[in-house]
Structure 1
Amino acid sequence: MIKTYNANEIIESYLPIDVEKVQSKWKEVRSSFTHKIIVLDDDPTGVQTVHGVSVYTDWNEETIEAGFLDEQQIFFILTNSRAFTAQETERVHRDIAERVEKISKEQGKAYLIISRGDSTLRGHYPLETEVLRQAIEKNSESKVDGEVILPFFKEGGRLTVDNTHFVKQDDVLVPAGETEFAKDRTFGYAASHLGEWIEEKTKGAFSKESVTYISLESLRKMDFDGIVEQLLQVNDFGKVVVNAMDEDDVRIFSTALILAIQSGKSFIFRTAAAFTKVIGDISSRPLLQREELITEEQAHGGLVIVGSHVQKTTNQLIELQTLSSLHFIEFDAHLVLNKEAFKQEVERVRLEAENKVADGTTTVIFTKRKRLDLGDGMEEQELQLSVEISDAVTSIVRDFSVRPNYLIAKGGITSSDVGTKGLCVKRATVAGQIAPGIPVWKTGEESTFPYIPYVIFPGNVGADGTLKDVVLTLEG
């Protein structure tokens, strides 16, 4: 039986945060921190806490140089590496690290690099950060002292308490290793305690006893000196686990972190989206409203693509289907095993959707809810087929002959591929969030549909009614 915890009881058992004191110390320390901040996003949901920043969808030298020259201190590179094989992600991260190091030297600009991963701990870890470390050390004279692990993401209900990572479901905290996310066929894991998770993922290269833990007690006491001292002791790419239940916990840690960096320490980061907002010093803003997003309204409907197979997405789709004004099309992705039938299915779905959107009806294309399962030991082959399915879905968007009023993509890999291969975005601006943890891009002029509001809806975020609420907001 899964042991769960009462969220409110745990949250209330810790000292409250002195917000005014936190902000005062943060402003004092943050003003002197001028590093360029580069976020490598393994799917497009990493911008779910920020606004007014650039997202680039390639990582050639010119793009990274543009990011360094961008007036904003922080920029994102969408790698979409969660959809990559291990070999692909290794090559991409080595290329990026080498180019970043080269441009940093040319411009005389120090940088901080963040590997933004899933708040439920899925993804190519520890591969990505290890490759970054190796490439940085090979191309510079410096050593990377440590790696910070900070998967807290309040909007998605991901809290780290007593070094254990939890997923909040209603008013209950469930250890992350007991959730459906931990059973991911490609990136699954067993441990919920982050020290044990590190030991599991690194196959014992780093033991849980060797990990440095930044406790909630020291954060809530605002023990800046103590936390700095902990960070100064980290060497040999040692792991640092940060507990957090509130954004200000992250701000307290980040204050101490900057002081440690200014004392000569060097870190790489594997974090969820909360840390990128805090370290980037990005303000909070109200949720986006329809009139801010749809400025060139046409008589066309919107287009919604649902690809994620997690249970939360399926529940949200069921709730969305209660809206009788929408048109729903099921895309039989299992036909991928029959090339000709699959090609015909893609054409059928696209033509039907085009006709409906042109008539002013918002249309929802959703993949068959049962995941394609080839059996044990076939994870790599399944990943390849999922790429073929995703390519087919994105071709529907790329070849779409009607400009929709807006576009929503549900699921991390789905939204990345729709953005890069369907909408052909090279650079987008993050407008903000339309619901907690759900970002909106404004596409660039090079896009298939320039300046369209593109809603990136993570598969594992929101309540059952959130997708429906987002659609209703955009429908007006």
Structure 2
Amino acid sequence: MKLDALLSPYPVSQPVNPAVIADRVRHSRRVHIVLDDDPTGTQSVADLPVLTQWAVEDLDWALDTGAPAVYVLTNTRSFDAETAARINREVVTAAVAATRARGIRPVFTSRSDSTLRGHFPLEPDVIVATLDGLGEPAVDGVVLVPAFPDAGRITIGGVHGMTDGVEFTPIGQTEFAQDSTFGYRSSRLADWVEEKSRGGIAAAQVVELTLDTIRAGAERIAEALCSAAPGSVFAADVVVEDDMRQLALGLELAEAGGRSFVYRVGPPFVRARIGQPQRSPLEIDDADAAESTTRGGLIVVGSHVGLTSRQLADLTARRPDAAVVELDVPSILDDSTVAATLEAAADRVVSSLADGDVIVHSSRTLIRTEDPDESLAISRRVSDALVAVVSRTLAARPPRFVIAKGGITSSDVASRGLSIRRAIVRGSLFPGIVSVWEPAEGPATGIPYVVFAGNVGSDTTLTEAVEKLSAPASHSAAQR
């Protein structure tokens, strides 16, 4: 489908100054608590706190920064439904306790995948039920905004899909819809809601906020939000950042009038919702690298989507100087061989870091099962193995930087491999994608940590990320 033809019936987008949104958020006395089902949700924002643990004291630390939004890394996309529900309840309960103590109102965002993979409608349902049980104001609806224009994921006429700027492919026709755990058939969001809720929410009940409404302005959006039946699901069209900003203004009007919503969104929604402008990509310099005699950085690749495998192939081809350590998945899954496999891998990584960058990746053959929970369990075993290698490496020879590729991988590497409990998202390496964290404490302090989603970028973006981070070391070596 041609993108221009799909857009031709709709009005053009109208510019929105993000400072207007930021000012309204600041005066609202509300803080946005983002339950991020993997750490790649942070790639569109900057200068916000992120937590991998959610005790009240962790929320206190994050709220004390005065930031308009706080990310809590739940990693629920890697867990079964029961565990995901428990984690959501725990985070909401802790966040309500921390915000009540300050007299501020929490607004909850369930951040998930722009390609529609994750626990839906489970997670927003659990948030709504937990808030009700805690005596918080009733939630009037769930706002569904999976769009991620920076990565080519947009929604037009209620249909979500991917674009290269010329063609538009409905998301149900992509490899992501074939996910072994969170697969689906529908591309129209209303139909997808019915499919994922197993008929519990009929497509006809979903309120579609199409571009006609979004581009008519904030008052029209607020009218649509406020006139819908309580408990509605709203599916929003978004093609460009200003569409999301218009939606943010409409939500501000509706919430100022007493309405309350839970958001289920892709990565850039929070940026638009709090009025944060799109930032220029970060420039990495010598001051950003860990002070260590180690020359090399560590690149950890766990994702198995096709794009990641192509990016890995490009990286190994164009960076022949980097050592490559492959973890054989069958050996990891075999209890009789896993210990020796991990010990050998960690030893090689540690020794190779003295000479340059090291790439650690799981073998590329994806082991599938018919059982979604079993597929998740396999993914977790692989992630556990990568974490063990990172943890042993950190103890023996801290790398100059760490890049983690893939959602489950980047979450586990952060929280368990590097023991990051609290961090600040500094920004992104590329426009709107690939975030850089600054650990606030612990053994990884001073090591830039790069969260790289499995499904973003071009075939060369991983290589470009490594080159950006390796440049300071090359420059320093030249100066010596």
- TM bin, normalised by shorter chain, reads over 0.9
Matches within 5 A, 1:74-473: 74-140=69-135, 142-169=137-164, 171-222=166-217, 224-291=218-285, 293-294=288-289, 296=291, 298-322=293-317, 323-358=319-354, 360-373=355-368, 375-376=369-370, 378-400=371-393, 401-436=396-431, 437-446=433-442, 448-473=443-468
**Residues 286 and 450 from structure 1, CA distance in 2 versus in 1: closer, same or farther, beyond 3 angstroms?**
same
Contact 1:333–1:342, Cα closer than 8 Å, also in 2: no
1:32 equivalent in structure 2? 27
The size of the alignment, in residue pairs, is 466
Q: Quick one: which amino acid aligns to residue 85 of structure 2?
A: E
Instruction: Name whichever of 321-330 and 409-418 sits farther off.
Output: 321-330
TM-score normalised per structure 1: 0.94
Mean Cα displacement is larger for which, 24-33 or 133-142? 24-33
> Letter of the aligned partner of 1:350 in structure 2?
A
How big is the shift at 1:474?
A: 1.4
Going from structure 1 to structure 2, the CA distance change for 1:141 and 1:392 (only over 3 Å counts) comes to: closer
Contact 2:325 2:345 in 1 (8 A): yes
**C-alpha displacement at 1:431, in angstroms?**
1.2
Instruction: Indicate the larger mover: 283-292 or 51-60.
Output: 283-292
Q: How far is 1:305 from its partner? A: 0.6
* Amino acid in the other structure paired with 2:256: Q
Describe the SS at the equivalent of 1:339: coil
CA distance in 1, matches of 2:324, 2:137: 55
- RMSD over aligned Cα atoms: 1.8
**Structure 1 residue 192: deviation in Å?**
0.4
**In the TM superposition, what is the alpha-carbon distance from 1:40 to its structure 2 partner?**
0.6
Greater mean deviation of Cα atoms: 385-394 or 303-312: 385-394
1:111 CA displacement: 1.4
Aligned-residue offset at 1:299: 4.5
Pick closer, same or farther for the CA change 1:141–1:333 going to 2, 3 Å: closer
Q: 1:57 Cα shift?
A: 0.6
Asked whether the equivalents of residues 45 and 456 of structure 1 are also in contact (C-alpha less than 8 Å), the reply is yes
Residues 328 and 72 of structure 1, relative CA distance in 2, 3 Å threshold? same
SS in structure 1 of the partner of residue 44 of structure 2: coil
Q: CA deviation at 1:371?
A: 1.0
Instruction: Give yes or no for contact 2:21–2:249 (8 Å, CA) kept in 1.
Output: yes
SS of 2:268's equivalent?
helix
Gaps of 5+ in 2: 472-480
Could you list the per-position Cα deviations for residues 50-96 of structure 1 after superposition, in whole angstroms to 9, with x for gaps in the alignment?
A: 11111011111221233333311211100111111111111111122
Aligned with residue 3 of structure 2, among 1, 7, 25? 7
User: For 1:405 and 1:351, how far apart are their aligned partners in 2?
Assistant: 17
Q: 1:284 to 1:296 in 2, by over 3 A?
A: farther
Tell me, yes or no, if the aligned pair for 1:101 and 1:140 is still in contact at 8 Å: no
Match of 1:474 among 464, 469, 475: 469
Post-superposition Cα deviations, 1:304-331, rounded to whole Å, max 9, x if no partner, equal: 1111000000010111111222111211
Task: Point out the more displaced range, 454-463 or 211-220.
Answer: 211-220
1-structure distance, mates of 2:389, 2:332? 15
* Conserved 8 A contact 1:302-1:361: yes
Query: Paired residue for 2:49?
Result: 54
Give SS of 1:32's match: helix
Q: Secondary structure at the match of 2:444?
A: coil
TM-score normalised to the size of structure 2? 0.93
Gaps (5+ residues) in structure 1?
A: none
Identity across the alignment (%) = 32
Q: Closer, same or farther in 2 for the Cα pair 1:363/1:37, shift >3 Å?
A: same
Asked if 1 retains the 8 angstrom alpha-carbon contact of 2:44 and 2:427, the reply is yes
Who is 2:478 aligned against? none
TM superposition shift of 1:295: 6.4
TM-superposed CA distance for 1:170, in Å, is 6.6
What amino acid maps onto 2:342 in structure 1? V
